[in-house]
């Protein structure tokens, strides 16, 4: 199985910046994409940003122009740079892995425990 660990969350004021990190380990094969999701209290988890193995990125409209997803130099790492943070960005942020397992096929249900991001004055 794959293990994902997120870090970098914290409390910041509106307009501030924060960078989240995610590291994957375990049975990692061929990665198709890595993504960041977030979940506010009592609400469903939503996609924030995604980056494919080819480097293509996509973002939800609410974070476009403010957030940047990128791959790290280290293997199986992904980052989310968040600028101009707003109170509505407050949520637990999770990273997700989508990969091809030669034996089991596509696997995309790997999640970390999340890191809390709170934007408040």
Q: pLDDT (tens digit, 9 = 90+) per residue, 1-41?
A: 899 999 999 999 999 999 999 999 998 888 889 999 999 99
Please check the confidence at residue 76 and state whether its pLDDT lies above 90: no
CA distances from 111 to 24, 34, 84, 86, 99 (A): 10, 11, 26, 25, 13
Please check the confidence at residue 45 and state whether its pLDDT lies above 90: yes
**Please, what is the Cα angle at 75 between 16 and 67, to 5 degrees?**
25
- Distance between alpha carbon 25 and the CA centroid of its chain, in Å? 15
């Amino acid at each position: 199985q794959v293990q994902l660990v997120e870090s970098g969350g914290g409390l910041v004021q509106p307009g501030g910046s924060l960078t989240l990190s995610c590291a994957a380990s375990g049975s990692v094969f061929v990665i198709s994409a890595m993504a960041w999701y977030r979940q506010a209290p009592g609400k469903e988890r939503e996609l924030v940003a995604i980056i494919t193995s080819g480097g293509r990125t996509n973002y939800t409209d609410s974070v476009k122009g403010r957030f940047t997803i990128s791959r790290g130099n280290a293997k199986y790492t992904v980052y989310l740079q968040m600028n101009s943070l707003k109170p509505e960005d407050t949520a637990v942020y999770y990273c997700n892995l989508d990969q091809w397992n030669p034996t089991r096929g596509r696997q995309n249900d790997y999640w970390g425990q999340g890191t809390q991001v709170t934007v408040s004055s």
